[in-house]
Structure 1
Amino acid sequence: MSTTNVPAGASSTSKNKMPPGMVMGPDGKPCKICTAFRNWRPGTTSGIEGNERGRAGGGGHRSAAAMMAALASGTASEKTNAVARIDGPPPNCPPDVEQLGRATWTFLHTTAAYYPERPSPTQRANMLMLLRSLPVLYPCTNCADDFGEDMKTHPPDVSGRVGLSRWLCERHNEVNEKLGKERFDCAKTDERWKDGPEDGRCD
């Protein structure tokens, strides 16, 4: 990570390295919405989470989007998820990158699960507009840029519910792979995001 800028009048000895996991925004300042709360507030990180974060390669452009997707996908370990709950922002605080990511992926996957089998031209156009708006409007600019670059290589499939669900699952899996996480079985998107498991525990 790069070092933080030294404020005017501060001595060079006051330079501190960026905390691990802290992400810089496009303005050259620490990006709060791009950073997990435990990394924004040093001292809240546990040893367990530190090991997980180390495997993710610290902060930066790729790991911010990767952490967002991995936590939302349910592939993160039980220990990591437990730490995320403990170290997340207190109630009624703005979300950190992990809360925002989980909410966004939940919304996208669930929207795809209920997308029509045979969407009308208007429905296809609206879905494309929704997906194409993310790289422009998503608050975490590093995450947005990463997703936008991925969309250039893999244009969205809005042909129907199955195609869209698979497309989102594949995008999510690409990010999971960047973290060294397991791939989600894209044949199970309906079970995860619409129908629930066959044992009925979600009914």
Structure 2
Amino acid sequence: MTGQPEQSTSTAPAPAPVAARRLPPGMVLGPDGKPCKACNSLRNMRLASASFPSKPPASTSPSPSRAAGSSSSSKTASAAASAFGLLTTPLLADDPLRSHCPADSEQLGRATWTFLHTAAAYYPATPSKEQQKQMLNLLRSLPTLYPCQHCAQHLGVEMQRRPPDVTGREGVSRWLCETHNEVNERLGKERFDCARVLERWRDGPADGSCD
């Protein structure tokens, strides 16, 4: 007995630097070096959760008091567990258990395209100079304000190559449709028939199924 504290001969391995961690294909990192929620799909975020945990859960097994809790508490716990990649059953991006979670790239993209296409569909057929200015300001703001930096930069390049047509409803609707189709092609998705863009976003189908 020397009275000196014993020195441990083993040390915990230091976490691997971000650049050295294995990432799913197509994973986009944010400025903080972690996967960007607005830039990646929920599927990729779940794949990366083991390499980039937000914070470890307190326990993987519920205590007796939690086990006897309400159904809403159980749902909240399940949603939290999914964020840490603890659930083996994949959750869809629109799963109600994730209604309190930040939007992933797919949710953000759908919401943004829905707003833009709908705004274009209700844009005047013969807009005033002020209306044209405001629509152009809206579209030009996206490369700066859209949360996914990678997507925003690509849109900025596309807008320089093919400037928006804000001279009327038909022009801006077609411009957005063609821009959306360009994105769909890059993602391996089908093109949308731009001749039907007002039917899709304003009038609804002729069979009245949306009335």
Alignment TM-score, normalising by the size of structure 1? 0.70
Q: Is the Cα–Cα contact under 8 Å of residues 89 and 96 in structure 1 kept in the other structure?
A: no
Q: Is the Cα–Cα contact under 8 Å of residues 25 and 142 in structure 1 kept in the other structure?
A: no
2:87 is the alignment partner of 1:91: no
Q: Is the Cα–Cα contact under 8 Å of residues 29 and 36 in structure 2 kept in the other structure?
A: yes
Offset of residue 84 of structure 1: 4.2
Q: Is the Cα–Cα contact under 8 Å of residues 174 and 194 in structure 2 kept in the other structure?
A: yes
Q: Does the residue aligned with 1:33 lie in a helix, a strand or coil?
A: helix
> Unpaired runs of 5+ in structure 1?
1-7, 45-81
Amino acid aligned to 1:105: W
Equivalent runs, 1:6-155 vs 2, <5 Å: 9-10=14-15, 15-42=20-47, 84-85=92-93, 90-155=98-163
Counterpart Cα distance in 1 of 2:91 and 2:203: 29
- Judged with a 3 Å threshold, the aligned counterparts in structure 2 of structure 1 residues 83 and 174 are, in CA distance, closer, same or farther, namely farther
Q: Which has the higher helix share?
A: 1
Q: Which 4+ stretches in 1 moved above 4 angstroms?
A: 82-89
Amino acid aligned to 1:157: D
- Judged with a 3 Å threshold, the aligned counterparts in structure 2 of structure 1 residues 186 and 150 are, in CA distance, closer, same or farther, namely same
Structure 1 equivalent of residue 200 of structure 2: 192
- Judged with a 3 Å threshold, the aligned counterparts in structure 2 of structure 1 residues 193 and 11 are, in CA distance, closer, same or farther, namely closer
Offset of residue 180 of structure 1: 2.9
Counterpart Cα distance in 2 of 1:30 and 1:165: 33
Alignment identity in percent? Answer: 61
Q: Which has the larger radius of gyration?
A: 2
Counterpart Cα distance in 2 of 1:116 and 1:11: 55
Larger RCO (CA under 8 A, 6+ residues apart): 1
> Unpaired runs of 5+ in structure 2?
1-12, 50-89
**CA-based RMSD:** 2.7
Alignment TM-score, normalising by the size of structure 2? 0.67
Counterpart Cα distance in 2 of 1:201 and 1:11: 55
Of 172, 179, 183, the match for 1:175: 183
Amino acid aligned to 1:29: K
Q: Does the residue aligned with 1:163 lie in a helix, a strand or coil?
A: helix
Alignment length (residue pairs): 158
Amino acid aligned to 2:42: F
Counterpart Cα distance in 2 of 1:11 and 1:172: 38
- Judged with a 3 Å threshold, the aligned counterparts in structure 2 of structure 1 residues 185 and 125 are, in CA distance, closer, same or farther, namely same
Of 197, 206, 210, the match for 1:202: 210
- Judged with a 3 Å threshold, the aligned counterparts in structure 2 of structure 1 residues 109 and 86 are, in CA distance, closer, same or farther, namely closer
